[in-house]
Structure 1
Amino acid sequence: MSADTLPKLLRDQAGKFGSRVALREKELGIWKEISWREYYEHVRNVSLGFVKLGLKKGEKVSILSENNQQWLYGDLAIQSARAMTVGVYPTNPPEQVKYIVGHSESRFIIVEDQEQADKVLEVAGELPFLEKIIVIDMKGMRHYESSLLMSFDGLEEIGAGYHRENPDMFENMIRCTDPSDPAVLIYTSGTTGPPKGAILSHRNM
């Protein structure tokens, strides 16, 4: 039976291609390779980390970042939990970030670095649904004291621990994903008013 959701497709590709290269990303001028198996394991750990933090089916998680491997891990991790990914343009100013994160009622947001975290922290007091800001690159943030902040690596560690306690859970989660599940909430850039959100299911994609 062919995969009918993106998480199922990732699972199948990881099973089929294993150690073959799935992703390449340049770090400090050197290309880093990520295998299909590693890709799957990162997604699993992030997804189970979110579940451990309380993410539930149908809820939303925003991502405020340039394209990188963590964007992909986060996106598929969110969908594996049958929640929805909300992409936020990294060029958006704090007020637009506030609108999208607030309007979508996102409980969590993944941000790339200090610059993006600062945008969210600036408006966090007006985002009653927001519980955690998950930062991919914590450089320059050692002295930040907000209880909203946690690292992306820390989220993965939580998920890895949860997987050790529940080794079959993630596979069962993927098996339960359905093509009719809402997968992403996309906000169009409005020129005459606030951005409008459009929901796409796995079947739509």
Structure 2
Amino acid sequence: MAIPDISNINTVPKLFWHNVENYRDDITMWRKQRGVWESHTWGDYGNWSRDIGHALIAEGLKPGDKISILSETRMEWVVLDMAIMGIGCITAPVYPSNTEEQVKYIVKNSESKVVFAEDQEQLDKMLVIWKDLPMVKKVVVIDKYYPGIYQM
């Protein structure tokens, strides 16, 4: 197979959408959910990223706004990151091993308007510090089995 010419692609989102368009049905990632491996295609990845991007725009986010992801590295993390970049926003990553004070420092200094929290443990951290983060309008739990949206 020949290597495609991508010399005109100068951003990560452009390369992403090039791959979605040209390799829609090809598997791009695998994840293990409750002991079962699932494959996902570039088309899946593109659809999820587009839908999340549209939801963020509907929430009033604009290019240049910051969004934190408080999560381990996982498939949803990369989908969120691509959605965030795709609408011109900026990802502020936060390690889930950080303490509440460290999370508060990162979210506050990044001026994040939305925080995606991996699970109940990360949501609990946000619920403790949220009162000190007036710029954060929503916290979205990304856990597939315990999703939720919390807002001030």
Question: What residue in structure 1 maps to residue 90 of structure 2?
Answer: 84
Rounded to whole Å, the distance in 2 between the matches of 1:138 and 1:121 is: 20
Rounded to whole Å, the distance in 2 between the matches of 1:80 and 1:30 is: 30
Decide whether the 8 Å contact of 2:140 with 2:150 is kept in 1. Answer: no
Rounded to whole Å, the distance in 1 between the matches of 2:25 and 2:38 is: 14
More relative contact order, 1 or 2 (CA 8 Å, 6+ apart): 1
CA deviation after TM superposition for structure 1 residue 72, in Å: 0.7
Structure 2 residue matching 1:87: 3-state secondary structure: strand
Rounded to whole Å, the distance in 2 between the matches of 1:74 and 1:147 is: 17
Structure 2 residue matching 1:122: 3-state secondary structure: helix
How many percent identity over aligned positions? 36
CA deviation after TM superposition for structure 1 residue 138, in Å: 6.8
Structure 2 residue matching 1:15: 3-state secondary structure: helix
Question: What residue in structure 2 maps to residue 54 of structure 1?
Answer: 60
CA deviation after TM superposition for structure 1 residue 41, in Å: 0.5
Question: What residue in structure 1 maps to residue 151 of structure 2?
Answer: 148
Q: Which runs of 5+ in 2 are unaligned?
A: 1-6
Q: Does 2:30 match 1:27?
A: no
**CA RMSD, 1 decimal:** 1.8
Cα deviation, 1:22-51, whole Å, max 9, x if unaligned, reads 110111111111100110010000111100
Question: What residue in structure 1 maps to residue 110 of structure 2?
Answer: 104
Decide whether the 8 Å contact of 1:7 with 1:76 is kept in 2. Answer: yes
Cα deviation, 1:112-151, whole Å, max 9, x if unaligned, reads 0000000011000000100000101275688xxx8428xx
Cα 1:17–1:10 shift into 2, 3 Å: same
TM-score (norm: length of structure 1): 0.67
Question: What residue in structure 2 maps to residue 70 of structure 1?
Answer: 76
Q: Which runs of 5+ in 1 are unaligned?
A: 150-205
Cα 1:147–1:12 shift into 2, 3 Å: closer
Question: What residue in structure 1 maps to residue 48 of structure 2?
Answer: 42
Cα 1:140–1:22 shift into 2, 3 Å: closer
CA deviation after TM superposition for structure 1 residue 2, in Å: 2.6
Question: What residue in structure 1 maps to residue 4 of structure 2?
Answer: none
Q: Does 2:135 match 1:129?
A: yes
Rounded to whole Å, the distance in 2 between the matches of 1:65 and 1:88 is: 7
Rounded to whole Å, the distance in 2 between the matches of 1:16 and 1:133 is: 34
For 1:89, the aligned partner's letter is Y
Structure 2 residue matching 1:107: 3-state secondary structure: strand
Rounded to whole Å, the distance in 2 between the matches of 1:141 and 1:11 is: 27
The ranges of structure 1 where at least 4 consecutive aligned residues each deviate by more than 3 angstroms after the TM superposition are 138-142
